[in-house]
Amino acid sequence: MNNIHHFNDLLDDKDILSLADDKAPFLQDWRGNYSGDAEAVLFPRSTAQVSAIMRRANEQGLTIVPQGGNTGLVGGGIPDTSGKAFVLSLSRMNKVRSFSEANRSMVVESGCILQELHKLAEEHDLYFPLNLAAKGSCTIGGNLATNAGGVNVVRYGNTRDLCLGIEVVMADGRVMDLLTPLRKDNTGYDLKQLFIGSEGTLGIITAASMKLFSLPKARATALAGIPNIATGVELLGKLQAASGEQVEAFEIMPDTLLNVIFKQFPEIPRPLDPIPEFMILMEIASSDEKDGREDETGRVPIIETLEGFLAEAFEAEMISDATLARNETQRQQLWDIREHAPESTKRESNPVNTDISVTRADLQTFYDSAVAEVRKVCPVTRVCSYGHLGDGNLHFNLIEKEGGDPDWLDKKEPLKAAIYRALASLNGSISAEHGIGVMKFEQLKQVKDPVALSLMSNIKHLLDPKGILNPGKVID
């Protein structure tokens, strides 16, 4: 039976999409791994409307799948194929409610696009440091719901660490106002943390109060060739100390990945030739303008710091080659390489994707053991393991051999299992930053502590007893 009439009196006609072509972009994920169906896509414009929708959905037992920018990589924002669910897109709730330079915080609605928040902060000479390649499409609500990581975690932490408060609409329509921008508030349990990272299964985040930082005024960015991951980890520790904890990003990319990026995007310049076994993209940043200003001899202090560091690393034979960005255009060219990693592997193949984390100290061991396990299954697969070395987080992805592998699709699951075998022995995480969604729904049950799983299930039941919020994701 059609249920759309339950929402017709709550939203304008233009805020309900029910035609197949209109709904289509909201029913498939970015990688094309997950697709589903929904009776309609709903676009509330206020917390009151979200509340009314949830109250009605709860009364009628209708499934609601929250969605932000639909850039999630684990199928969390995609409904099942029954066609009975309603996608609740927060994308039209994108107002800035308040901005405080004095408190260094902003209160924004959950549909605000991350990149827009970067611009907003910069207009006030401040900085919102959450940064990921999907920044032009992902929303702050989605970032909170997935506790997104990205490239600046090594200095500023995950989205969770950047959040002061949230406003949440519960499954039964009640609004919980935890939007306080207070920096200290020990009045009982920190309930916002339950909803951050809950992937739309416990409540709808409608607004958030986020921290701001000093705007970096000087940056130094370099790409360096290293022989192995362990050297990268050692370099990071040294750079963190040498720069006074100014390391904002420390990303690793192997030669296999770089070859794919340069093949798929030939317009991107190759900064190091020949391509070393691994490359580190490192960036340090300072909010002190003087660090970026040329002195009378033409030297720029922050560039000097990184240049000196690289020279010492070269002397110590830790790096084989390096290039340093001398201006913003060159910096962007280096970042372009890293930011094209997800798209280029997607174009090249139908990759095996993972998002693992181990301690930084265990990264090399994990890598060696995962490569060995993978080779037992398929000796010719290409290992494109890249990611946020500073956070012990690798997207240990695999693509088929050059020219294609006719049995590739059959090999994908055994290859994934091989990677997770290596991870299990190191007590690593199966999801460092992308979440569980549908992709890791079954796997979570096998790896999570049983007491924790049972508590998660109790919490889900308490907050959403009818199971109307994003069923089939994260936890039963």
Token code pair at residue 426 = 């190191």
Burial of 262 (0-12, 13-18, 19+ CB in 10 A): middle
| Minimum CB–partner distance for residue 339 and ligand FAD (Å) | 8
Q: What are the angstrom distances between the C-alpha of 181 and each of 58, 99, 124, 164, 228?
A: 30, 10, 18, 5, 43
Binding of residue 69 to ligand FAD (CB under 6 A): yes
Q: What one-letter code names the amino acid at 271? A: P
Q: What track of x and - describes contact with ligand FAD for positions 198 through 217 (by CB under 6 A)?
A: -xx---xx------------
Q: What is the smallest separation between the CB atom of 267 and ligand FAD, expressed in angstroms?
A: 18
Residues in contact with ligand FAD, counted by CB under 6 A, come to a total of 37
The nearest distance, CB 436 to ligand FAD, in angstroms, is: 9
The least CB distance from residue 332 to ligand FAD, in Å, is: 17
Q: Out of 470, 471, 472, 475, point to the residue binding ligand FAD (CB under 6 A).
A: 470
| Residues in 411-450 that interact with ligand FAD by CB under 6 A | 433-434, 437
Query: What distance in Å separates the CA atoms of residue 67 and residue 77, rounded to the nearest whole number?
Result: 5
- In terms of CB distance, is 287 or 429 closer to ligand FAD? 429
Encoded one letter per residue, x for contact with ligand FAD by CB under 6 A and - for no contact, window 335-364 reads: -------x----------------------
Contact call for residue 80 and ligand FAD (CB under 6 A): no
Q: Binding to ligand FAD by residue 66, rule CB under 6 A?
A: yes
281 half-sphere exposure, CB direction, 13 A CA radius: 24
* Token couple for 240: 């963190």
Q: Do 390 and 247 contact (CB within 8 A), yes or no?
A: yes
Q: Give the shortest CB-470-to-ligand FAD separation in angstroms.
A: 5
Pairing of strands 64-67, 86-89: parallel
Write the binding mask 119 to 148 for ligand FAD: x where contact by CB under 6 A, - elsewhere.
-------------xxx---xx-xxx-xx-x
Closer residue to ligand FAD (CB): 303 or 356 = 356
Report CA-CA distances (Å) from 147 to 72, 193, 249, 250, 342.
11, 10, 18, 20, 19
In sign, the C-alpha dihedral spanning 56, 58, 62, 66 is positive
From the list 170, 171, 162, 120, the residue with the least C-alpha distance to 143 is: 162
- Rounded to the nearest whole angstrom, what is the least distance from the CB of residue 22 to ligand FAD in the complex? 17
> 282 with 222: CB under 8 angstroms?
yes
Cβ-based nearer residue to ligand FAD, 199 or 373: 199
- Candidate ranges 15-23, 73-81, 99-107, 366-374; the one touching ligand FAD (CB under 6 A): 73-81
One-character DSSP codes across 387-437: EEGGGTEEEEEEEPPTT--TTHHHHHHHHHHHHHHHHHTTT-BSBSSS--T
Instruction: Choose between 110 and 221: whose C-beta lies nearer to ligand FAD.
Output: 110
Residue number of the CB closest to ligand FAD reads: 142
Q: Residue 114 Cβ, how far from ligand FAD at the closest point, in Å?
A: 8
Least distance between ligand FAD and beta carbon 154 (Å): 12
Instruction: Please report whether residue 90 would count as binding ligand FAD according to CB under 6 A.
Output: yes
How many C-beta atoms surround the C-beta of residue 350 within 10 A? 15
Binding mask 19-38 for ligand FAD (x = CB under 6 A): -----------x--------
* Least distance between ligand FAD and beta carbon 387 (Å): 8
Query: Whole-angstrom Cα distance, residue 54 to residue 233?
Result: 47
In this chain, which of 51, 63, 110, 357 binds ligand FAD, going by CB under 6 A? 110
Closest of 408, 417, 435, 431 to residue 370, by C-alpha = 417
d(CA 321, CA 337): 17
Minimum CB separation of residue 41 from ligand FAD in Å reads 12
Amino acid identity of residue 151, one-letter, is V
Candidates 63-71, 97-105, 211-219, 359-367; binding stretch for ligand FAD (CB under 6 A): 63-71
Q: Give the Å distances, CA to CA, from 37 to 5, 34, 41, 66, 288.
A: 18, 11, 10, 14, 51
Q: Which is nearer to ligand FAD, 301 or 467 (CB)?
A: 467
Residue 382 contacts residue 400 (beta carbons within 8 Å):
yes
Shortest separation between residue 474's beta carbon and ligand FAD, angstroms? 8
* Interaction site with ligand FAD (CB under 6 A): 30, 65-73, 76-77, 90, 110, 132-134, 138-139, 141-143, 145-146, 148-150, 199-200, 204-205, 342, 433-434, 437, 470, 473
